[in-house]
A and B are shown apart, each in its own frame.
Chain A
Amino acid sequence: MAAADKVDPIHQFHINPIIPIHIGGYDLSFTNSALFMVITILVAGAFLYWSTAQRALVPSRLQSMSEMAYEFVANMLRDAAGSAGMKFFPFVFALFMFVLVANLLGMFPYFFTVTSQIIVTFFLSVLVIGTVIIYGFWKHGLHFLNLFVPQGVPGILLPLVILIEIVSFISRPVSLSVRLFANMLAGHITLKVFAGFVVSLSAFGAVGVAGAVLPLAMAVALTALEFLVAALQAYVFAVLTCMYLNDALHPGH
């Protein structure tokens, strides 16, 4: 069982309760997933807090990193949604840092990857789309529905275009969440499979060890790729969030 677990690429996604909590029949246990959510916000929060504690005019390296992350997200949001979008800055920055740190923490061996759980990424994207819808209707009322009516479309095509726009809007939370989830999941499975090859082949003596060099090299290369994907997906999540928020701010465009 334990030996099988080692090679089983799915094992890393298993959720195990640490503190079982059951309320009203629901399993609300504090699981390994929840533990890593907490670790994620602690790491991200502590980094941002301590690196900027000195408020130095000439920043240290760590403070520079925090400032770069801040300006990166701020510029992203300003480019996508204009200066009116800056009221969402803490939200987008929190999303970006959460996803980034969760992805990067997932790269540590034996660590749980929070963003490889579809329900977690789906929760985050529903949060984004929910913010867009609620803010859009609150700010623009029914004019928010202009979002689905592109300008300059011939009348005869309009129903079709509106239908397409609505479908694309509804698919946004799905695509947003599945993109992040699938990237993290597939990457970790691939990594685990190749690492598993190394272990399995090494069991066949000298020839096996020699043959294991190839999957080992692959696993090393994939690790680098996964670090890239971890950062890239956090960026993609944040930049799409900015674009959707732009729809909430300027639905008519």
Chain B
Amino acid sequence: MFVTPAHAQEAQPTEAEGTHGTEAPAETTHAGTEVPAEGHQGGFPPFDPAHFPSQILWIAITFALFYWFMKRTAAPRIGNILDARRDRIASDLDQAGKMKVEADAAVAAYEQELAEARANANTIGQKARDEAKAEAEAKRKQVEAELDGKLADAEKRIASIKASAMKDVGAIAEETAAAIVEQLAGKASKADVAAAVKAVAK
């Protein structure tokens, strides 16, 4: 329906160009296009080839500009922003990792020092304990030796006292025996009594 006038329009410009027409033929074609455009009001504008050249020209111009803007400005800028953010995050993570390593090293050093200190304390304590023990042992030995000496003296004294006491025991026994004999059987010689006591004591 609208294809035929379209062909007519396309045919006309070529003729106009052929005759090297300036403004006048162009105006004529324009007038020609207007009539069918008004004519198929009920037609379908997107399929009307009369508008194709203008649409192509302007979409080409606008899209070229937009592409140029994208390539020159928008895409690199957003790309840079995203890259900067990615770098920043990566470097921050790096730094955090480094700090963590440092912190871990510090903790390890602290632990080691703590362990050393504990070991030192143990050895010092052990040494002190050993020394105290040795000292106590020495003192105890000395005291024991003293006590042993005293004990020996005491035993000696006891022995001597016992010996002298035992000696006295003989005399007492003789006197007692003599007294008892005197009471029972009259006088008894001192030598007989001593011999009898001796025999009994044996």
Contacts and interface: CB of A to CB of B under 8 A. Distances in A.
- Is B a genuine binding partner of A? yes
Interface of A: 8, 10, 13-15, 17, 20-31, 33-34, 37-38, 40-41, 44-45, 48-49, 52, 55-57, 59, 63, 66-67, 70-71, 89-91, 93-94, 97-98, 114, 116-120, 123-124, 127, 181, 185
Contact of A117 (B55, B69, B78): B55
User: Chain B interface mostly helix, strand, loop or mixed?
Assistant: helix
Nearest to A29: B54
Interface in B40-96: 42-48, 50-60, 62-63, 65-67, 69-71, 73-75, 77-82, 84-85, 88
A40 B65 CA distance: 11
Nearest to B74: A48
Contact of A15 (B43, B45, B82): B45
A97 B80 CA distance: 19
Contacts, number: 152
Given A33-B55, A55-B81, A98 B47 contact: no
Contacts of B50: 27
B63 A20 contact: no
A140 to B, nearest CB: 24
Contact of A25 (B16, B43, B84): B16
Contacts of A48: 70, 74, 78
Contacts of A33: 51, 54-55, 58
Given A37-B62, A57-B84, 11 more contacts: A10-B45, A23-B26, A25-B14, A28-B54, A31-B51, A41-B63, A41-B69, A67-B78, A120-B59, A123-B63, A124-B59
Given A25-B13, A48-B74, A70-B82, A181 B54 contact: no
A13 B67 CA distance: 26
Given A24-B13, A70-B82, A45 B59 contact: no
Contact of B51 (A20, A38, A119, A123): A119
Given A20-B30, A70-B75, A70-B79, A124 B70 contact: no
B172 to A, nearest CB: 122
Contact of B17 (A10, A25, A55, A114): A25
B25 interface: yes
**Residue with the greatest number of chain A CB neighbours at <10 A, chosen from B14, B59, B78:** B59
